[in-house]
Amino acid sequence: MVHRAAPAVVVRDLHARRGTHPVLHGLSLSVPRGLVVGLIGPSGCGKTTLMRSIVGVQIVQSGEVTVLGRAAGTASLRGRVGYVTQDASVYDDLTVRQNLAYFAAVLGATRDDIDRVIDATDLAANAAQLAGSLSGGQRSRVSLAGALLGSPELLVLDEPTVGLDPVLRVELWALFHRLAATGTSLLVSSHVMDEASRCDRLLLMRDGEILADDTPAGLLAATGTDDVEAAFLALIAAHPSNAPAAREAGDS
């Protein structure tokens, strides 16, 4: 079974800086195959640095990142991992189709594949429009469409649903689950807590650390809460750095 296979991503004791700033201090996690895994945490907690490390464009200080059984950043992984950066990385002076045609040429994907990803991201009506003339949500969908080309085995999506209309957001989550059902592994970050319930598994992150790695239901049961935000707060309160002594010192 796909799910029993080795995890899509294994990170062990990862230390990384963004610029000169230490962001990840000894982080470990694993992303199972064929599931939608949510990386949930506030802005600035290190989600992007972690995702960049998995994709292999981040200089890391130490630690191990294994993606689909190989060291992250290995040349053979570049066609097997799709990455969507937080800000839409598309060419504003090209049309939607021209953007995708270029990415397809780099990946060696077919013309049919371009049509497929345009449909999947609901961009058919905008295909001939310049990316620069699109709304923010549409541009980020072009960026997402580019990552879907060539059907990569792992998708790393940095806040792909930010600023989207709720109907479209529901559609995209449905798309993520359809992709997972065909065996694609997805790591999707968000700083919006209520998106957590749409994931198969959650990684809750804060200050460069993973606070929890569980299913949404398991997380709520373990913390005795009934929404992810409350669970997040409960985990922060229970964290060693917020032990009673430290908190009393803060109160006085």
Partner 1 sequence: MNPRRTLATSGRVLTQIRHDPRTIVLLLVVPSLLIGLVAWIFSDTPVFDTVGPAMIALFPFIVMFLVTSITTLRERRTGTLERLLSMPLGKGDFILGYTLAFGLLAVLQSAVAVGYSVWVCGLTIKGSVWLLLAVAVADAVLGTSLGLLASAFARTEFQVVQFMPALVFPQILLGGIFLPRDQLPDALRVFSDWLPLSHAIDALQAVASDSQDAAYVGGELLIIAGWIVGAVVLGSITLRRRTP
Residues lying near partner 1 in the complex (CB under 8 A): 17-20, 55-59, 73, 75, 78-79, 81, 83, 85, 87-94, 98, 102-103, 105-108, 130, 143, 146
Burial of 158 (0-12, 13-18, 19+ CB in 10 A): buried
Beta carbon nearer to partner 1, 74 or 225: 74
Contact (Cβ atoms closer than 8 angstroms) between residue 41 and residue 48: no
Q: Taking the CB of residue 167, how many other CB atoms lie within 10 A of it? A: 9
Beta carbon nearer to partner 1, 93 or 194: 93
Q: How many CA atoms lie within 13 A of 183 on its CB side?
A: 10
Beta carbon nearer to partner 1, 32 or 79: 79
Q: Taking the CB of residue 112, how many other CB atoms lie within 10 A of it? A: 8
Contact (Cβ atoms closer than 8 angstroms) between residue 86 and residue 157: no
What is d(CA 178, CA 171) in angstroms, rounded to the nearest whole number?
A: 10
Q: How far is the CB of 90 from partner 1 (least distance, A)?
A: 7
Q: How far is the CB of 34 from partner 1 (least distance, A)?
A: 22
Q: How far is the CB of 170 from partner 1 (least distance, A)?
A: 26
Q: How far is the CB of 102 from partner 1 (least distance, A)?
A: 4
Beta carbon nearer to partner 1, 143 or 190: 143
